[in-house]
Amino acid sequence: RYRLLDRIGRGGMGEVWRARDESLGRRVAVKCLKPLATRGDRTFVRALRERFRREARVAASLQHRGVTVVHDFGEHDGLLFLVMELLEGRNLSQLLEDNKQHPLPVPEVVDIAEQVTAALAHTHDQGIVHRDLKPANVMRTEDGAVKICDFGIARLAHDIDFTAKLTGTGVAMGTPHYMSPEQIAGAAVDHRSDLYSFGCVLYEIATGAPPFEGDDAWTVLVGHRDTAPAPPREHRAELPGPLQDAILALLAKDPDERPDSAAELAARLAEARLRAAGAGPLTGLGPVVPAQRGSGDGAAPGAGPLWSPSWTRGMGGGTRASGSWPVPAGGARGADAAHSVLTGPWTGHHGPLTGQSRPAPHTPAPHSAWASPPSPP
């Protein structure tokens, strides 16, 4: 039924293809996991196959404009696959790269924040937690819509035991730059873990750098655990106060101190939108101020080696949103990877879009690569 046309992504768990649904005559994206036959253990394969079906049904049950639509799933010659809508646009990681590591325009940050918040409110109401929210998993389409990708993939990857192999660089499940303290500690997580990760995403697109950085994963993890993030306005003074307050609330170490729900966060962002409505075009942006935070030097002496989870041994620092993902040999590059529905460990690095994107009429601010944003309505 699905004719694979060209590969648009490749990563630790499998491949992504642009495909044609021969039955309905439409273009789709097909995510293929690595063949199960290589695993050997039949009991494990049966359990994985059933888990895959459950996660696919969960992802397909999410009906919201801010969530990537799952059309179908199945198995072919031992290959599990998901069929999803094909999104034409750029993920937030690519938008930052397009903008030469500068933060995105304030109205665009607020618009993205509100759209993602609405999607999270819907998914959390269904009792579904993403677990791997990061810029690479948030897509801005050509018409200005923002969509979250890869629901269910995080839990599935954990079951497949790719927890330390997703990117081929030893990065644990959940890129360290966007992991909540409770996720790092291996504790139970709920929707508030997603809110923390979302706070990291907002911090980065608003300032140009994640809240905690370092040369290795442990430095970043200790930052999440022990270090208070620098207020975003220290790096970008024009950010609205309510937006800064919302971001810092999301980054609270204790889940009980974060907004209780995405709906509560939406109310805070509404005020930030009113403030951002008076923000003009951002001109003359210099390099982002290097973030002197999250080094771990201010953490409790000796805390690192004693507390380090076993899965962090040998880990690198991970790849923040504005960096380049490694592409395995033979991976997609250039124009054939430009319009990708997938990101992060699935897709690797992508070149610029061919052609120019169009802003949607409702979008408060245009794509960061457009030269002269009009005044907000």
Contact 272, 110 (CB under 8 A): yes
HSE-up (13 A, CA, CB side) for residue 293: 20
What secondary structure letter does DSSP report for 71? Answer: E
Burial (CB count within 10 angstroms: exposed 0-12, middle 13-18, buried 19+), residue 330: exposed
Closest CA to 134 of 118, 115, 150, 110: 150
Bridge partners, 11 (sequence order): 14
Contact 90, 140 (CB under 8 A): yes
Closest CA to 127 of 181, 190, 68: 190
Place of tokens 């307050």: 245
- For the chain, what's the residue count? 377
Tell me how far apart the alpha carbons of residues 181 and 174 are, in angstroms, rounded to a whole number.
Answer: 12
HSE-up (13 A, CA, CB side) for residue 126: 18
Tell me how far apart the alpha carbons of residues 201 and 204 are, in angstroms, rounded to a whole number.
Answer: 5
Tell me how far apart the alpha carbons of residues 308 and 299 are, in angstroms, rounded to a whole number.
Answer: 13
Contact 279, 238 (CB under 8 A): yes
At 156, the amino acid letter reads L
Backbone φ, ψ for residue 144 (5° rounding): 95, -10
Q: Which two tokens stand for residue 53?
A: 């079906």
Which residues are tagged catalytic?
A: 132
Tell me how far apart the alpha carbons of residues 249 and 271 are, in angstroms, rounded to a whole number.
Answer: 15
Contact 198, 206 (CB under 8 A): no
Backbone φ, ψ for residue 366 (5° rounding): -75, 175
